[in-house]
Chain A
């Protein structure tokens, strides 16, 4: 099992940027998919995309291109989510979640999420 510890809450003004970190400890960091999930206040779960921990290749879900960036520092076992040009609609809890990935159909795809970080609340307000 992998423990995921995320950085603390953030309060940002519209137009600013934020970088959220997710540090992994324990086994099974390599050969994994590190996913990011958004949960707006009182709402459901929305998958933002994933990054392959072996190649560092990011994949973004529809609606999460342009202002969102995933990155990885394998030496620190840490994954990052950066959001630029923040607006109030970005106010949400952001979770990192680790799972396996598999080669099928035309490429690598993430599987179910075995481990979750505790979540990071990002509040965007003037």
Chain B
């Protein structure tokens, strides 16, 4: 299986500052036939199910604030929160759905 490794495991950011979470896969998630990276990002707040933020590495899900953005290709990906809000405190997971499907271990974002 493809192994997904996130860094850091936890992150403390001041309100209004930028938060950056990295995700590295053990093999490329880029499918050459359609030039898409099979990677998604989720946010999970305490006591809630995860919520889809980003898919195809950089496409924001409908309704997700534009302070969330995804970038990267191949094996290295990044989730950026441009200006951290109090409601962004959560655990964030990357997920590859290239072959077949695995999650990263999660990154806890705190203020």
Contact = CB atoms under 8 A, between A and B. Distances in A.
Interface of A: 35, 37, 44-47, 50, 59, 61-62, 95, 97, 104-105, 109-114, 116-119
Contacts of B80: none
A111 to B, nearest CB: 6
B51 interface: yes
B17 to A, nearest CB: 25
Given A47-B103, A62-B1, A104-B31, A112 B97 contact: yes
Interface residues on B, range: 20 to 34
B49 interface: yes
Interface of B: 1, 31, 33-34, 38, 40, 42, 44, 49-52, 55-56, 61, 91, 93, 95, 97, 99-106
A116 B97 contact: no
Contacts of A35: 101
B40 A112 contact: yes
A46 B103 contact: yes
Given A104-B31, A112-B97, A114-B61, A45 B103 contact: yes
Contacts of A110: 97, 100-101
B49 A112 contact: no
Contact of A111 (B1, B49, B55): B55
A59 to B, nearest CB: 7
Given A47-B95, A112-B52, 18 more contacts: A35-B101, A37-B50, A44-B91, A44-B106, A45-B106, A46-B103, A47-B103, A109-B101, A110-B97, A110-B100, A110-B101, A111-B38, A112-B56, A112-B95, A112-B97, A113-B40, A116-B50, A117-B49
15 contacts: A46-B103, A47-B103, A61-B101, A105-B31, A109-B101, A110-B97, A110-B100, A111-B38, A112-B52, A112-B56, A112-B95, A113-B50, A114-B61, A116-B51, A119-B49
